[in-house]
Amino acid sequence: MDWGKPKTPTGARRSPERTARRPEQPAEPGLTTVSSVVSWIGNDVVDLENSNLHGKLENHRFLKRVFTKSEQAVVARAGESDIELWCLWACKEAAFKALSKVLRTPPAFIHSAFEVSWTRMIQEGSPSIRAGNVVYEELSVPVSVDLSEGVLHAFAWTGHLNEPIKGAPPAELYHDLARLDEPGAPWSASYPELLEELTAEERAGVHSRESAAVRIGLKASIANTINVAQDHLQVLRPRSPTGRSHPLLLLDGKPSSIDISISHHGCWIGWAFLVMGND
Residue 242: partners with Cβ closer than 8 Å, 6 or more residues away? 106
DSSP E strands, the chain: 41-47, 114-121, 128-136, 139-148, 151-157, 173-179, 233-236, 239-240, 243-244, 248-251, 254-255, 259-265, 268-274
> What is the reported pLDDT for 3?
30
**Which overall architecture, per CATH, does domain 36-170 show?**
Alpha-Beta Complex (3.90)
Helical segments of 47-186, H only: 60-66, 69-77, 83-102
Q: Kindly list the distances between the CA atom of residue 98 and the CA atoms of 62, 80, 86, 118, 161, in Å, as whole numbers in the listed order.
A: 24, 31, 18, 18, 11
> Model pTM?
0.83
Compute how many other C-beta atoms are within 10 angstroms of the C-beta atom of residue 259. 25
Specify the pLDDT at position 21.
65
Residue-wise pLDDT tens for the chain (279 aa)? 323 223 333 222 333 445 566 555 433 333 223 334 568 999 999 999 999 999 999 999 999 999 999 999 999 998 878 999 999 999 999 999 999 998 878 888 999 999 999 988 776 666 778 899 999 998 999 999 999 889 999 999 987 544 444 556 777 899 999 999 999 999 999 999 999 999 999 999 999 999 999 999 999 999 999 999 999 999 999 887 766 788 999 999 999 999 999 999 999 999 999 987 655
pLDDT of residue 16: 40
| Separation CA 65–CA 52 (nearest Å) | 17
Helix, strand, coil percentages (3-state) for the chain, rounded to 5, are: 30, 30, 45
- Give domain limits for the chain: 36-170, 178-274
Model pLDDT, residue 7: 31
**Any idea how long the chain is?**
279
> CA–CA separation, 126 vs 182, rounded Å?
24
Residue 118 neighbours by CB under 8 Å, 6+ apart: 74, 130, 131, 132
Cα dihedral 88, 92, 98, 102, rounded to 10, equals 140
Question: Residue 113's pLDDT is what?
Answer: 96
How much is the pLDDT for 184? 94
Count Cβ atoms below 10 Å from residue 117 Cβ, excluding itself.
Answer: 17
Q: Are 58 and 105 in contact (CB under 8 A)?
A: no
